[in-house]
Amino acid sequence: MDGGYGNYNTSYGGGGMSGGGGFMPGEMNSPAGPKGDTASLRPVTIKQALDATQIHPDADNFQIDGADAASICFIGQVRNISSQSTNVTYKIDDGTGEIEAKQWSISTGAGVGGDESMDTDDSSKPAVELNAYAKVFGKLKFFGNRRYVNAHCVRPVTDLNELHYHLLEATAIHLFFTRGPPGGGASAKGGAAGGGGDMGGGMDDYGAAGGSRPLPAMTPAARRVYNLLKNEPQSNEGLHVQMIAARLNMPVPEVTKAGDELLTAGLIFSTVDEATWAILEY
């Protein structure tokens, strides 16, 4: 990945990758509207949305990585669709978490502010189908001790390349806020994790660090995947194969083959699913 994500500022409108992120006419005016930060649109994973910091308990102001996240977008698989007279609620799962997106009918005015509701009965628009992928644009809300998304737009995703692009864009922005722009020096958080220009760096060719035992012989691809998992900050869930492929600029089949090699060697283990891996301390 080149330095394009360094163009993102707190409005995400610096012209980095956002111009080609599957943005469709009518979804939003632009990734960063004239209101500045309050109109910013940030690509996220569902886990980031669920873990977002609420600035004030009684206000719908959220931050992710210390930056305002007024409006968010994400892509996931539709696990459930519940249609009511006033709204449609979609349960979306992207592999990192699950959240409900509620889209209000414009005729009811039941949304949080009339400008945030959409007409869910427009038969001219492509239908969102159960178990298919959908892209959601909206704002994080908090009600009844649960977070949900008040959706401006929910549309089907027909090209899985859009999913891959979205993960890349969300990763780039996350790295920008946690490690700083490329070549600009890592933040304390990124520096502690060895945040250099090479996502798989910070260790020797065999992944040994800090006096740990040498690892068994492995292919170069497996070594790169292992080094990334060993050196990359991550939650208990680990990293998905698509995220690993994006960060290492490797084809997904090659990463999958490398992961199988590491799984067989007992160096990594599967977490939430077979395609999400975490390091097994050696």
- Would you say residue 51 lies in a domain? yes
User: In this predicted model, which residue has the larger pLDDT, 116 or 201?
Assistant: 116
**For residue 142, pLDDT beyond 70:** yes
Domain of residue 207, CATH code? 1.10.10.10
C-alpha distance from residue 172 to each of 42, 46, 184, 195, 209 (Å): 11, 16, 15, 13, 26
Closest CA to 224 of 197, 255, 246, 194: 255
pLDDT of residue 184: 56
- Looking at the fold, whether 158 and 37 belong to one and the same domain comes out as yes
The 10s digit of each residue's pLDDT in 104-132 is: 876 544 444 444 445 445 556 678 999 99
Q: How many residues does the chain have?
A: 282
pLDDT of residue 93: 94
Q: Domains in the chain: how many in total? A: 2
Q: Can you tell me the distance from the alpha carbon of 25 to that of 17, in angstroms, rounded to the nearest whole number?
A: 17
User: In this predicted model, which residue has the larger pLDDT, 68 or 144?
Assistant: 68
pLDDT of residue 77: 94
Query: What is the helix (H) or strand (E) element at residue 169, kind and residue range?
Result: helix 160-179
**CA atoms lying within 13 Å on the CB side of residue 12:** 30
- Looking at the fold, whether 96 and 14 belong to one and the same domain comes out as yes
Domain of residue 71, CATH code? 2.40.50.140
- Cβ atoms of 93 and 41 closer than 8 Å: no
pLDDT of residue 57: 66
Q: Work out the widest C-alpha separation in the chain, in whole angstroms.
A: 66
What is the residue-averaged pLDDT of the chain? Answer: 73
Look up the pTM and report it.
0.52
The 10s digit of each residue's pLDDT in 70-91 is: 789 999 999 999 999 889 999 9
What range does the domain containing 219 cover?
198-279
Residue at 20: amino acid letter: G
User: In this predicted model, which residue has the larger pLDDT, 46 or 11?
Assistant: 46
Task: Among 22-31, 134-143, 207-216, name the most confident range.
Answer: 134-143
